[in-house]
Amino acid sequence: MEIIIQTTPEAATAVAARTIALLVRKKPDAVIGLATGCTPLLLYRQLIEMKLDWRKVRTFNLDEYVGLAADHPASYHSFMAEHLFRHINIARKNIHIPDGLTRDVPAFCSRYEKQIKEAGGIDLQLLGIGTDGHIGFNEVTSSLASRTRIKTLTSQTRLDNAGFFGGEEKVPHHVITMGIGTIMEARHCLMLAFGRKKARAIAGAVEGAVTAMNPASALQMHPRTTACLDEEAASRLKMSDYYRWVYANKPDWQKIQPPFNGVGIISSGRRHKQLLSRNGTSLPAWTARVPGS
């Protein structure tokens, strides 16, 4: 797992935003798995400011509450519309979010899995992490091989999400969520975590045993996971000095320039690719680093 520790949530988010921007520019019809919650709010704001071309991008959200209509103010449909989709030029037909009102949950879930496969699989899956290590709504003790299905939320997760509903008692008990096995098939997992309350979950996910008691620890078995953390979320990591050194000393072929609206030079593996800005001119040589190994 690649661990990128930045001083603030803004800086950690900027690394993630650059990673997504590069993907969208390199592969305009990329398939991106999206998350909701407080963590990606800043990321969505940064992505909107980047004015990327989302016309061909296809998205699959991780989860939705069972029993909530798409237009319910606390549904993840509403969340995504408000915080990302209505600000970008994505095509409605390319957006996929689990249907909280489906009458046949198992049939819906297998169709969702099929749609992901038909899209060619997920290129990049964005992830937050729960205070107990859940990813998507795969609560502790979820099968590490699980697929999209219904899950029952723990009281901790319902409490953590009470703010979106105006009270814990209003938070639904059930959700539809991509499984851990589904998430593990994404070609790149990009996890964000900020704040001290995520420090224990992050330490377990990155340096603990692989266990269903911390579902994010399954990402240790994923060939390409990047975790973008602020100092507080990283505060319980034993190897943090090592992660910082690794990131500060990346070989040139792993660096990209520049971070925002241009495209810059990126290399993947040994093959260096010269990418140009949209008008075809070379870009200034200010250096930023993105995950990629």
Nearer to ligand F6R, 170 or 273 (CB): 170
**Cα separation, 212 vs 60, whole angstroms:** 24
In the complex with ligand F6R, which residue's Cβ is closer, 133 or 264?
133
For residues 208 and 43, give the distance between their C-alpha atoms in angstroms, rounded to a whole number: 27
Which CB atom, from 18 or from 198, has the smaller least distance to ligand F6R? Answer: 198
Whether the CB-CB separation of 289 and 258 falls below 8 Å is answered with no
Toward ligand F6R, which CB reaches closer, 18 or 134? 134
Residue 166 CB, shortest distance to ligand F6R, in Å, is 15
Cα–Cα nearest to 40, from 122, 163, 131, 127: 127
CA distance 146 to 135: 12
Q: How far apart are CA 161 and CA 167, in angstroms?
A: 9
Known catalytic residues are 63, 132, 134, 139
Considering beta carbons, is residue 135 or 190 the nearer one to ligand F6R? 135
Between CA 13 and CA 28 the distance in angstroms is 21
* Minimum distance of ligand F6R from residue 293's CB (angstroms): 24
In the complex, minimum distance from the CB of residue 163 to ligand F6R, in angstroms, rounded to a whole number: 9
Q: Interface with ligand F6R by CB under 6 A: which residues?
A: 35-39, 62-63, 128-130, 134-136
Work out how close the CB of 228 gets to ligand F6R at its nearest, in angstroms, rounded to a whole number: 13
Name the pairing type of β-strands 149-152 and 2-6: unpaired
Least spacing, CB of residue 4 vs ligand F6R, in Å = 18
Nearest distance from C-beta of residue 106 to ligand F6R, angstroms = 21
For ligand F6R, the closer of residues 75 and 94 by Cβ is 75
